Structures are given as C-alpha cells and as structure tokens.
Amino acid sequence: MLHGPGDLRVEEVAEPAGEVVVHVEAATTCATDVKCLCHGHLILGPYPARFGHETVGRREDSGERVLVGDSVACGTCPPCAAGRAQLCERMTWVLGGFAERIAAPAAALHSVPDGLDPAGAAMAEPLAAAVHAIARSGAEPGAGTAVLGGGTMGLMLARLLVLRGCDVTLADRHPERRAQAEAFGAAAVEQLGSHDIVLEAVGRPEAWQAALAAAAPGATVVFVGGCPAGSDVTLPAAPLHYAELDVRGAFHHDRAEVEEALALLAAGDVDWRALAGETVGLDALHGALVRPASGEARKLVVDPRL
C-alpha cells in the first residue's frame, strides 16, 4: 500500500472486493510505477492506495489465467462513442497488481494465450500502448521511422516498427540499450538525424524538443512519453508551420490493442524475455523501484508468492 510519496508498506489488508478475484502470478513494473511511488499519480486515487497495473494471475473462480487490464472504459461518453476508448471521460482504473490478490471487473480481464508466461503476458499492457502509438504514427511499410529513447517502451516501439517493415533508427545514449535495439532489428545511434516519423519515448520536455528537431519536412511526431505533471514544453514555431509537421500525442490503449499485444507476445514476435529483469517479491519492491537504472532497459517482475 502506498501511504504517500515514497511511503510504501507491505501490509495485510482486507480481502479485495470486486466481480472477479485474481491470484497474482506476475506484475511487471514501468516508469509509471516509479512516478506513483515517488511523486504520486492522478490515477492512484486517495492514499492509502494500491498500485501496479501490469498484472497477470489466475481467476479464483475458474482457475483460468488472465491479464488484468488496468482500465475499463465506460463505452458511452463522447470519446468512447467516437471509438477512442483510451480517452474515456469516465475510465475505471484497475490498480493493485503488487499484491497477492486483486479484484477486477470482468470487463477488465483478457484470457492469456496458452504457453505464454505470466511475466510475458503482463507486458501486454505496455505493449498495447506501443501498438496504439504506432497506429497514431501512421507508419507504413518502408517508412523512415525513428524512436527517441531506448527504455522498454522505446524498444517495444522499435520492435513493432521493424515488424511492420519500416526502416527503424533508435537513439539512446546508453550503449547497452542500443545493443538491445539492434537485437530487435533496429539501427541504433546516439543522436537522431532527420526522419519522416519520430516517436518520442522519454517523457521530458527536452526530449519532446529533440524529437521535433529530428523531424523531416512534412513529418509526423508522436509524443509517447508523458512529461512530469505540470510541464510546459516550448516548441519552435517555424518548423511546425513551414515544414507542416504533424504533432500528436499517444496515450494508453483500447481492448483490441491489448488483445493484439497478447497475440504478438504469444507468437514470439516481441521477445519479452529480452525486456524482463530481476524477479522480486513484494518486500523487495520498494528498493528495486528506486534503484538507479543500470545500462540495459529491463522491467522488474514482481511475484508476490516469493
């Protein structure tokens, strides 16, 4: 339970109540969890708050292995009606994967394909956001695309672009992450050149500016990384106007994109093991989340049974 910024406690709590109780087998972590822990997050709700949003386990009622999707859209608000459920105005967030059990609405659940490990299936949540971002980019086979940032999201984006048949360049200052990008089939550099599609996957104002600076005339720039709350970003007017840049955000995903991500992971098209780091129990979670990132980009796997 999060009791406030930086105040994470492992404690016995009341049994989770909800439509379906799921016994957690694996919950992977991402930068959002670090934000939740250190600074709080809009989606957390009031303290004490449960967190962890990339969650796989077995249903208590049927024993079926399921991915617990982290959100359920209302289905009726204007964005939902327009087919953009990721922008739902009445989203129900389903958090609490860092626990032995989690309760979820049945509508949040996805069957895990046979043969896919729990830790791999948990990565369908962030991979679905990457699937969504690629759709937002409009990348077609053969397009000259670039990804700024070789964290796990950047690497997922690069892999999806490679699978789509794009020409992919990923930029990161860490040689270990560049090697991971190359293993995924992308070219890797320290600094981007000029590209027709640029996906930003860092989430800092200066990275948004760098992504725009790497946009060729007529390019599309997609901001995938969320900047810290309250950030303002200054962008140069000239290329936005005279180079007709398309600048767009990409946020979250819908149910179909989660299903697509699960299929990609089950087929081995995205090698989740290349993105999986240390497996830790609940007691080790705090220390592992605040540990400075080393060279490679890898997600922690939390197994509450440890």
Q: Which residues form the interface with Zn ion (CB under 5 A)? A: 30, 32, 73-74, 77, 80, 88, 126
Residue 94 Cβ vs Zn ion, minimum distance, rounded to whole Å: 13
State the nearest-atom distance from the C-beta of 197 to Zn ion, in Å: 23
In terms of CB distance, is 99 or 245 closer to Zn ion? 99
Is the CB of 43 or the CB of 74 nearer to Zn ion?
A: 74
**Displacement of CA 259 from its chain's centroid (Å):** 15
Q: Which is nearer to Zn ion, 235 or 288 (CB)?
A: 288
Q: In the chain, what are the helix, strand and coil shares in percent, each to the nearest 5?
A: 35, 25, 40
Contacts for 238 with CB less than 8 Å, ≥ 6 apart: none
Least separation in angstroms between CB 77 and Zn ion: 3
Asked if residues 270 and 264 have their Cβ atoms less than 8 Å apart, the reply is yes
Q: How far is the CB of 294 from Zn ion (least distance, A)?
A: 19
CB 209 within 8 Å of CB 233: yes
Instruction: Give min distance, CB of 263 to Zn ion, in A.
Output: 19
CB-count exposure of residue 68 (10 Å: 0-12, 13-18, 19+): buried
DSSP of 85-97: GGG-TT-EE----
Task: State which residue, 178 or 299, has the beta carbon closest to Zn ion.
Answer: 299
Pick between residue 204 and residue 213 the one whose CB is nearest to Zn ion: 204
As given in the structure block, the two tokens for residue 201 are 């996957």
Burial (Cβ within 10 Å: 0-12, 13-18, ≥19) of residue 70: buried
